[in-house]
């Protein structure tokens, strides 16, 4: 069958197809898990980078691709578990002036980014940020949920001026909040109970510290 279309139309169709493939290609590149650190009052410096790297090395967390400028530091990590462990380690090593957030770092080649070819923004729901997708990996969803809980616990206790000796995400379903005395633990428990109805609270003592365990219930 003869092609009845003029050459310029065939070339135009070919051009549109190639262009479409080019601009959809970035979606084939999976994002890296990352941590983003910034400080609204100060510019980031090499000293901040060194402090972040020291915290990660002390916690024995593998990381790569540290990038920083005056506004922020971004650390790339392998896997969701390392991402949450890194967030906790960095938060504990920095002062409250710093904001430490979970992030996804693009792996799209630089030349694609230069021509404006980027990944389609699926939004939080489709990225698993609020865990509404039925196909989401449950372990990752629980980890993200507990990481959010950790950040919220830290914020509430900071607002109420209740001092801790550290807050750790022990495993996917367990937060451990440490205090120097029983009074601080009791005050914290009173503040947190109503804010986290899905968590079970338990007091215990270890190594001269007063600990509040917050565990996710099994029937989530």
Q: How far apart are CA 164 and CA 51, in angstroms?
A: 21
- For the entire predicted model, the pTM comes to 0.46
**How do residues 160-215 score in pLDDT, each as one tens digit?**
999 999 998 887 789 999 999 999 999 999 999 989 988 899 999 998 999 999 99
Q: Is the pLDDT of residue 141 over 80?
A: no
In the block, tokens 């003029």 appear at 6
Q: What are phi and psi of 218, to 5 degrees?
A: -70, -30
- Token code pair at residue 113: 């980014």
pLDDT of residue 205: 95
d(CA 154, CA 143): 17
What digits encode the pLDDT tens for the residues 1-58? Answer: 555 767 777 677 777 777 766 666 556 667 789 999 998 788 999 999 999 999 999 9
Token pair in block for residue 159: 């607002």
Distance between terminal CA atoms of the chain? Answer: 62
Go through the domains of the chain in sequence order and give each one's CATH number: 29-119 (3.30.70.260), 138-216 (3.30.1360.100)
């Amino acid at each position: 069958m003869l092609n009845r279309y003029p050459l310029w139309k065939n070339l135009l169709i070919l051009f549109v197809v190639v262009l479409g493939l080019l601009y959809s290609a970035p979606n084939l590149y999976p994002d890296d898990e990352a941590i983003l650190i910034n400080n609204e009052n100060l510019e980031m410096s090499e000293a901040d980078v060194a402090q972040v790297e020291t915290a990660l090395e002390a916690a024995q967390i593998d990381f790569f691709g540290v990038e920083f400028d005056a506004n922020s530091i971004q650390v790339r990590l392998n896997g969701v578990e390392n991402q949450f462990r890194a967030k906790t380690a960095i938060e504990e090593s920095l002062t409250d002036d710093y904001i430490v957030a979970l992030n996804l770092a693009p792996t799209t080649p630089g030349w694609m980014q230069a021509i404006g070819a980027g990944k389609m923004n699926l939004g939080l729901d489709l990225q698993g940020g609020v865990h509404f997708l039925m196909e989401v990996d449950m372990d990752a969803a629980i980890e993200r949920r507990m990481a959010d809980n950790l950040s919220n616990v830290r914020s509430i206790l900071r607002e109420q001026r209740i001092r801790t000796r550290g807050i750790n995400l022990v495993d996917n379903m367990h937060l451990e909040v440490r205090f120097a005395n029983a009074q601080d633990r009791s005050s914290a428990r009173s503040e947190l109970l109503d804010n986290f109805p899905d968590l079970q609270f338990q007091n215990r003592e270890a190594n001269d510290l007063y600990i509040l365990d917050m565990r996710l219930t099994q029937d989530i």
